[in-house]
Amino acid sequence: MGVRRLWASLLPGRGVRIAAAALLAAAMAAGLYAAHAAPAAMATKKDEAFQTSIPAAVVLDPDSNSLLFDKNGDQLVAPASLAKLMTLEYVFNEIKQGRLKPDDTFRISENAWRKGGAPSHGSTMFAAIHSEIKVDDLIHGIIVDSANDACIAIAEGLAGNETAFGALLTKRAREIGLEKSTFTNAEGYPDPNLRVTAREMAELARHIIQTYPDFFPYFAEREFTWNNIRQQNRNPLLGMGIGADGMKTGETAEAGFNLVGTALQDNFRLIVVVTGAKSDKERGDEAKKMLEMGFHGFEARVLFAEGQNIGGAKVFGGDRSYVPLLAPGIVKVMMPRNANERLMARIVYTGPVPAPIAKGQPIGKLMVWRGENLALEVPLAAAEDVGPGSMSQRAMDGATELMIGLFKAGVNKL
C-alpha cells in the first residue's frame, strides 16, 4: 500500500476513470485544469497579485476553509500571546464538555501574581495575590487584557503547573487538527519549543468561531475592568471600521508583532494572521490591507455540490473495486474576481483501502491549488459500505498489488 494521488488528467484504471469524470465535471464548471505534477513548493509560494511586508501571513475564508493568501503560512514561528488562543480553546472545550463551569474559581497563586501579575510589568488583569476569580472573569481578562496572570492561574488550576498544561494544549491541538504547532506554556512567554504556524493559527481561529458561538462575542468587547482598573482591547482592527469582531494580538522581542484577526462584511467572514511585523502600526495596517484585499478581490466558486460524488478510492479485498468518496458538505474555493487563475485538484489517500469499509469512514482528502498556491484541503469519506470480497476477488487484488509492487521496484532501479 502507499499514498495514492489521483489527478484529473492522470487517472489510469476503470475505477479511477470514475474519479476523473467527477473531477473533470467540476473542472468544466469551475475552470478547473488538470496537471501532471505539483511542485513541492506549491503550498508555500505567495500570491503574486498581492504583496505584504509581513514575514509570514495568511488570509482564510472560514466558511469554505479556503486560503485567499498565503505567505510562508507553514513556517514555524514564535506566537507570543497568540498562544493564549489555544489556552482559551482548551477552557472553552472543558466548559462545553461539562468538566468546568464559568462560575468555577481559580486561585491567583504567588507564582501567577509574580510571573504574570502587577510585579511582572507585562500584560495583566491586575488580579490580587491569593484571590479567587471566576473562570468567566479570567476568560475576559485573557481576551481583552491579554492577562498573563489569568493564564497562569488556569494552567495551575487545571494541570498543576504550566509545563503539564503545555502538554495538554499540544495534545488538544493535535485533536483539533493542528499538526505542527507545539505549546509549552499558557501565555506565550518565549520558549524555543513554543512554535506555531500562521496557517494553523487561522485554523484555530476558525475552530473557535464555529465551535464556541457563545464565547466568540467576547472577542469583540472593547474594554474590561478588574480591580478597579479599566483596560482597552489591544486588537487594532476593532476600531478601523472594517467589520472586525476579534481575535488576539501578541508581541515579544523574539516574535515581533503578531495578530489573529477576523472581520465580517455582508455575511462574508475572513480570518487574517500576521506574524513578525516590525511595529504595532505595521501589524494593524497590513492586516487591514489583507482583509480589504479579500473582501473586495475574491468571490466564492462551488466545485462540488453537497452529496456529489467527488471520486473513488481503490479497494483491496472488497466486493467492489472502488469506493465512492464524498466531502462533508459543499466544496467551495475562493477565486480572484475578474481573473483567470487555473485550479488544479487531486485526491490523496493511502491505498488500496482494505475492506470492509463503513459508510462515512475517513479515506483521504481533496487538495485544490489556485495557481501555485494550495488553496483548499477537504477531508473525504466513503459514500457507501464496501463488504469483504470473495476468495477469488481477494486473490486477484493480491496478485494485482504484487505486480504493481514489482513494477515500481523495477522503475526505481532505472
Known catalytic residues are 81, 84, 146
Q: What is the DSSP string of 34-100?
A: --S---GGGGGPPPTT---S-SEEEEEETTTTEEEEEESTTS-B--GGGGHHHHHHHHHHHHHTTS-
C-alpha cell at 314: 481503490
At 212 the three-state DSSP class reads coil
- How many residues does this entry show for the chain? 414
One-letter-per-residue 3-state SS of 360-371: CCEEEEEEEEEC
How far apart are alpha carbons 56 and 214 in whole angstroms?
30
SS3 411: helix
Strands 373-382 and 322-326, sheet pairing? antiparallel
Cα–Cα distance list, 8 to 35, 120, 155 (Å):
7, 58, 49
Cell representation of residue 106: 481559580
DSSP 150-173: HHHHHHHHHHSSHHHHHHHHHHHH
Bridge partners, residue 258, by sequence? 250
How far does the chain reach from its first CA to its final CA, in angstroms?
A: 21
Contact criterion met (CB below 8 Å) for 224 and 125:
yes
DSSP assignment of 235-303 equals -GGGGSSS-EEEEEEEEETTTEEEEEEEEEETTEEEEEEEEEESSHHHHHHHHHHHHHHHHHHEEEEEE
C-beta of residue 369 within 8 angstroms of C-beta of residue 345? yes
Spatial CB neighbours of 395, under 8 Å, sequence gap ≥ 6: none
